Structure 1
Amino acid sequence: MNFRKVGRLAGAGMISLALASMAGAQDLDERMNSAGVLNLPDNPIIYGQALPPVVKATAIVNGEVITATDIEQRVALVLASSEATATSDQLNQLRQQTLRNLIDETLQIQAAQREEIELTAAEISETLKNVAERNGRSITELEEYLRGSGSSLRSITRQIQGEMAWARLRQAKIESTVTVGDDEVDEIIKKLEASKGTTEYRVSEIYLASNPSTDAQVRERAQTILEQLGQGASFGALARVHSESTAAIVGGDLGWLRPEQLPEQIAEAVVQLRPGAVSIPIAIPGGYSIIAVQDRRTLLTADPRNALLSLKQITIEFEPGLTEAQATPRVESFAEAVANIGGCGNSEAVASRFGGSVVQSDNIRLRDLPPALQQMMLPMQVGQATRPFGSLEEGVRSLVICGRDEETPGLPSADQVADQINQQRVESRARRYLRDLRRDAIIDFR
């Protein structure tokens, strides 16, 4: 389950009662008799759900409590969203980072409230509904899934509230004060014209701050994150939890950058990484960065991977428990059928022959497809279908190309350049603003 966006809870508490002997207390018979006035049944039937375990405060941020339950449920949410598992040591590190994130989240919500920025329950509910739908679930189904994962609907709702509050606070306090001059835009466009043919990289980052006293610990945490990535964890989900840059809220995505726009140590790694690859932890001033290169492109040069496709996806499904050997004849027959499909218009007939289904999608950029499919589809023509792919559990599929529009490269518009400059300045000021919120906060750790 991937919450985009997402890839960052609170639980109800109870008072734990203890019975202790006290000086001058009544004897056992008297205590038993005192309960007798209640006329309680000997074997009562208990209704309702059991109360949650005792919750202890872990931190109090400007008077607002973050409990151990908040942390555990948020950790469970992270693991569920990234479909990752963690060792005992990794869980401890994740708890510490989650506490830091919850503190930041609390500061952001409090700052928005001080600025009288209101978020309605309807807005939060609508966003929560969208998150559930993106994961193929209703709100009720999402709640059941989270509960089964050790998290709760309240946890993800709190995360949504934090992200929305921070976004509106940035808009009110930062974005509204940032200006970009026409001369700056013109200068950037001139530089882009001069850089035609150079390579840009779509870069994501997990940044961990360190100082001389914490260097060894932070380096070890970076290595642990790298191991989780090697085990298949989502880079974006881990960036949301661990990264200490403001890009964490968008999964560490730094956008398209040229090597000269990056610190030297990171630039050296970026140019050596293939799309989809992740770097080792890189020591930079102030901490460590783990870099992922999501994609690369050549500026102002035609790239066939930028083509917009109109596709039909044919999917055939298999009975649960069917073995690979049992399914092979049907898959081979399906492969032969799509290889000779004879045009997009025959997709429904092929699907019907195999008891399958067809879904149509338009304006799909080729470069947004999985790398293996990109390579397969680059030389394909309109009317051709891919070789079957997928699994017996999730269905075997084939994509039929119904249309293909190649992109004509050109310089970005002045508005696009201004938007990029504006975003960079907003990010820089947002980092300073959050730093100031942390500096001025009263935080009591328990």
Structure 2
Amino acid sequence: MKQFLASLLLALAIMLPAHAQLMAPAAAASASQPLDRIVAVANDDVILQSELNDAVRSVQQQYASHPDQLPPMNVLQKQVLDRLILMRLQIQKAQDQGVHVSDADIDQAVAGVAQQNKLTPEQLRAAVERNGGDFAQFRQQLGDQITVQRLHDSVVRDSVSVTDSEIDNLLSSPTYKAGEVHLAHIQVSIPSGADAAAIQASQAKAEQALAAIKGGMDFNAAAIRYSDAADALDGGDLGWRRLDEMPPAFADTIETMKPGDVSAALRGPTGFHILKLIGQRQPSRQMVTEFHARQIVISPSELVTPAQAQQKAQDLYNRIVNKHEDFATLAKEESKDPTTANAGGDMGWFQQSQWGTIIANKLAELKDNEVSQPFQTQAGWHILQRLGSRQSDQTDEIARDQARQSIGNRKAEQAYDDFLRDLRSNAYVNILVPELRAAGDQPAAGSP
């Protein structure tokens, strides 16, 4: 639980409220802590020293068992501040576009986090507060996360499409047939509109990272220390990806590598990249269990109360099981499901989860030709008969779906990366603390 909260709070710590405000003078005068200070301005918003400190502490907590993997404090602070600035700019952009997150949306997100960790929302609140967190801020940070995700979806939806011909070309390509690779990376970005000196400085930093790795530094630690990518503080882990998701120049390099190998510093459209091949696996046949079943659905209505619907379903079950009346005939006469009633309740062949979790669980409990007791879903009361099961080769269908997703992911990643670069380069950002400025940051007029 502590590890979960540390990771979650780390992610949320860089998604702080969209409008930080300075402490009122009267409250500040009575407080025992020193006055806060503004460390950066992002358009019409500010980032406070206290916010930066909280975010840095969250990173340190995540790496408490491996503190040697963290970069020096001044580098860590710059990395975290850059994330805070970019997050703040995204929230501003989302608000300008009318993105709205309701309390109900946040309630649902809280319930989802709690359920994933086998907690109730009340237990999640207690756990956050036991670990020193403020639950109201936790909710706000979840809201910010949802806001940015909706901004991402909007940008991608408007700029990414995948055609059937692109899918056909990908499926026939050698890189697709080569399978998947598990990668980690270090990205040293080149600022938008950079001159030759800035490009040379980025290349020198990439070469410095490569030299550190060759000198024995762990790749994850080097990613934390040198990478500019959003996943730097996660050790640069890209997870499993198909080779076709990589830019062609990177794919060609990866094809020549063995697990454990580290590439040279490769020039890409946004900067220099160092890749590590962690593992690789070949594609395999995708066999899926399918079920054939039929159902009768009795739904409550203005004329049928829920209790009457339940009794009607029970009566039909008794007629099928005890009086041996024909299931299909009763389905045609009595079922209220518009998609299956005219077919005698026949649902056809389908994958287990296609009709929802409740029906999937019932299918797993039944034997072939067995009829279930009436059970309830949102649609009403069901009687389910499992007619059979089979193993179906879904390799081609799954491959096509994966190819569509792969192409879409690659385009979406590039589109949103371009969007963030434009957002950052066109924003007014003033880092007021000189030691927190990264290379290339220029102070605004009048700044120290």
Query: Which TM-score band applies after superposition, normalised by the shorter structure?
Result: 0.5 to 0.7
Does the 8 Å contact 2:202/2:272 carry over to 1?
no
Is 2:413 the partner of 1:427?
yes
Unaligned runs of 5+ in 1: 18-45, 309-362, 364-404
Identity rate, percent: 19
Provide the rounded CA distance (Å) in 1 between the counterparts of 2:222 and 2:109: 22
Deviation track 1:246-296 (CA, whole Å, cap 9, x = no partner) reads 89999753642228944646754675453xx58478453454435454542
Residue 71 of structure 1: aligned partner: 52
Residue 296 of structure 1: aligned partner: 280
Residue 139 of structure 1: aligned partner: 124
Per the TM alignment, residue 158 of structure 1 is displaced from its structure 2 partner at its CA by: 5.5
Provide the rounded CA distance (Å) in 1 between the counterparts of 2:88 and 2:38: 14
AA paired with 2:201? S
Residue 242 of structure 2: aligned partner: 257
Where 1:213 maps in the other structure, the secondary structure is helix
* Aligned residue pair count: 307
Per the TM alignment, residue 212 of structure 1 is displaced from its structure 2 partner at its CA by: 1.8
Provide the rounded CA distance (Å) in 2 between the counterparts of 1:12 and 1:154: 16
Deviation track 1:220-257 (CA, whole Å, cap 9, x = no partner) reads 5788899998498798xx59x95426899997536422
1:39-438 equivalent positions in 2, closer than 5 A: 51-83=32-64, 84-85=66-67, 90-128=72-110, 130-131=112-113, 134=116, 138-144=123-129, 146-147=131-132, 157=139, 159-191=141-173, 196=177, 198-210=178-190, 211-216=199-204, 230=218, 243-244=228-229, 252-253=237-238, 255-258=240-243, 261-262=246-247, 264=249, 268=253, 272-274=257-259, 277=260, 279=262, 282-285=265-268, 287-293=271-277, 295-299=279-283, 301=284, 410-411=395-396, 412-438=398-424
Provide the rounded CA distance (Å) in 1 between the counterparts of 2:165 and 2:70: 55
Unaligned runs of 5+ in 2: 191-198, 290-351, 353-389, 433-448
Where 2:421 maps in the other structure, the secondary structure is helix
Provide the rounded CA distance (Å) in 2 between the counterparts of 1:218 and 1:444: 26
AA paired with 1:253? L
Where 1:212 maps in the other structure, the secondary structure is helix
Provide the rounded CA distance (Å) in 2 between the counterparts of 1:88 and 1:202: 23
| Structure with a larger share of its residues in helix | 2
**How high is the TM-score relative to the length of structure 2?**
0.54
Does the 8 Å contact 2:212/2:222 carry over to 1?
no
Deviation track 1:92-127 (CA, whole Å, cap 9, x = no partner) reads 111101111111101110111011111123423443
Provide the rounded CA distance (Å) in 2 between the counterparts of 1:417 and 1:232: 29
**How high is the TM-score relative to the length of structure 1?**
0.54
Cα gap change, 1:153/1:16 in structure 2, threshold over 3 Å: closer, same or farther? Answer: same
Provide the rounded CA distance (Å) in 2 between the counterparts of 1:422 and 1:184: 10
AA paired with 1:435? R
Provide the rounded CA distance (Å) in 1 between the counterparts of 2:263 and 2:33: 41
Cα gap change, 1:424/1:268 in structure 2, threshold over 3 Å: closer, same or farther? Answer: closer
Where 1:118 maps in the other structure, the secondary structure is coil
Aligned CA RMSD, in angstroms, stands at 4.8
Provide the rounded CA distance (Å) in 1 between the counterparts of 2:115 and 2:222: 20
| Of 94-103 and 73-82, the range deviating more from structure 2 | 73-82
Provide the rounded CA distance (Å) in 1 between the counterparts of 2:148 and 2:155: 10
Does the 8 Å contact 1:259/1:270 carry over to 2?
no
Cα gap change, 1:265/1:191 in structure 2, threshold over 3 Å: closer, same or farther? Answer: closer
Provide the rounded CA distance (Å) in 2 between the counterparts of 1:261 and 1:161: 32
Provide the rounded CA distance (Å) in 1 between the counterparts of 2:45 and 2:265: 36
AA paired with 1:75? V
